[in-house]
Amino acid sequence: MTTESVAIFLAGNGFRMLPRMPAFVHVLTDGYADERVASTVTLIREGDLIAVVDPGMVAHRRLILDPLAELGLQPEQVTDVVFSHHHPDHTLNAALFPEARFHDHWAIYSGDEWVEREADGFELSPSVRLLRTPGHTAQDITTVAETDDGLVVATHLWWSADGPADDPLAEDGHALRRSRERVLALRPSLIIPGHGGSFVPVETAE
């Protein structure tokens, strides 16, 4: 799908299209879920936006902070943090980013302000937006970034490239499958799952 057709698709699904520059996406640490559990933590930048998605459980916080420093960034520079959902393994290290505003499925939190808003279609920047993608939990959201290499999504609709095909902890398996279909219809070039390395989706991805 071309950049123009992606823009048409997004506009047709309720997104407000603005002049944009491509986003930069970098995985700070790959997650896993076996005897131990860690979330995949992702950095997304565009213009003034410096966002971290799912700063959850990791073996040591240096696994988040060191890759950030290698990119020339300090935790205080992070402007936004996105929680794909509110399980602690995806939120535990949120306090590393003292100046950020925080996003979930229904609100933005900053200091002592709680501003309710609908996540679906909410723009963090012209090239970065949120999708409501229930299934794993009823409150799950996906972060969508338009990059030079195509659309990249950070999501817990998949645990990893290797599955499980059916999320054993999903609150609603039918909703999860519908959300996967919605994301795959965007023709993402890369999926960053909740507990594993990034992978290129295929037509049969489930």
Domain regions of the chain by residue span: 3-192
Q: For residue range 150-173, what is the model confidence (pLDDT) as tens digits?
A: 999 999 999 999 999 999 999 999
| Cα 202–Cα 50–Cα 92 angle in degrees, nearest 5 | 80
Q: What would the two tokens of residue 204 be? A: 């049969």
CB-CB contact of 194 with 30 (8 Å): no
* 124 SS3 class: strand
Whether pTM > 0.85 for this model: the answer is: yes
Q: For residue range 1-31, what is the model confidence (pLDDT) as tens digits?
A: 444 444 444 555 554 544 568 999 999 999 9
The answer as to CATH 3.20.20.300 being correct for domain 3-192 is: no
CB-CB contact of 54 with 80 (8 Å): no
